[in-house]
Amino acid sequence: MRETARVLQDALGLPIEEAYLEARLLAGHAISRNAAQLVAASEEVLNDEDQERIRALVERRRGGEPVAYIIGRREFFGLELKVTPAVLIPRPETELLVEQALARLPAGQPLRVLDLGTGSGAVAIAIAHERPDARVTATDRWEAALCVARENAAQLGARVRFVPSDWYAGLAGEAFDLIVSNPPYVAEGDPHLHQGDLRFEPREALVGGSDGLECLRRIVAGAPSYLRQGGWLLLEHGFDQGAECRFLLEETGFVEVFTARDLAGLERVSGGRLER
């Protein structure tokens, strides 16, 4: 594992702590050991077959392939989720969206929650896991993503209803108390699309038009038709899109508009309450 960490540090420019974490994940996956088992077996000598399996995974990582896709899973909000190249890799900053949603779900009330563009199901499943009394619906336009999300919900025992839908298209006549979304918000020409993990993730889950705001505009514009009076809309967005999101929300008639910052101090989630 020390050798693997050095290889990853040199190849990918990772901090040594991150390189060692990735080495542990890859080694554990290759020989079917969890973190505690790896520590307990720290003096164990690996056979040639085990070493070759680890080397094969390391080579994939050296080529830039995300660890989450290599091992097929990612932790999010304390839950282990299956991930495949059909879905965006859940990220720590998106946990802020879940936290903001939970803060707006009064206890003891069976409220209806909608997650638009659910991908792996991370946000919807986390909310359903924390609030099993909520009636959570999650949509995605891509069946491959919904298959992953359904499997995650079943594996974790989360009660989520999944609907094939291009944003609101499949939800005619429905109304919700809270709508959340982590939509595509990267601009088409953003150079980050050609760097790091983003090179391997589904483009349709990343790119939000020429300025990155196309999906955010559609979600905000459509929300009043699907929110109950006093309902909230919460959106994850790029670090430099907070002001534009607040403007969109206020222009559409939302009140109590706010933006929350992630652990890095960056504007990450904006939202507002529908008053009518």
Half-sphere exposure of 222 (CA within 13 A, CB side): 22
- Check residue 35 and give its pLDDT: 82
- Check residue 140 and give its pLDDT: 98
Q: Is 184 annotated as a binding residue?
A: yes
pLDDT along the chain (276 residues), means of 10: 91 93 94 87 88 95 96 97 98 98 90 98 98 97 98 98 98 97 97 94 97 98 97 98 98 98 97 91
Residue 96, token pair as written in the block: 């802020």
Q: Name the residue type at position 65.
A: E
- Check residue 124 and give its pLDDT: 98
- Check residue 135 and give its pLDDT: 97
Q: Is 185 annotated as a binding residue?
A: yes
Q: Is 208 annotated as a binding residue?
A: no
Q: Is 64 annotated as a binding residue?
A: no
Q: Is 69 annotated as a binding residue?
A: no
Q: Is 232 annotated as a binding residue?
A: no
Considering only the C-alpha atoms of the chain, give the largest distance between any 2 of them, rounded to a whole number of Å.
68
- Check residue 187 and give its pLDDT: 97
Place of tokens 């040199």: 10
**Sign of the CA dihedral running 221, 223, 226, 228:** negative
Q: Is 133 annotated as a binding residue?
A: no
- Check residue 75 and give its pLDDT: 96
Q: Is 182 annotated as a binding residue?
A: yes
The interaxial angle of helices 48-62 and 2-12, nearest 10 deg, is 20
Q: Read off the pLDDT of residues 174-221 as tens digits, 9 standing for 90 and up.
A: 999 999 999 999 999 999 999 999 999 999 999 999 999 999 999 999
What is the set of domains in the chain, with CATH numbers?
A: 1-64 (no CATH), 87-274 (3.40.50.150)
Query: Phi/psi at 270 (nearest 5 deg)?
Result: -120, 155
Give the chain's radius of gyration (CA, Å): 20
The whole-angstrom separation of Cα 176 and Cα 154 is 23
Q: Is 119 annotated as a binding residue?
A: yes
List helix spans (H) across 103-142.
122-130
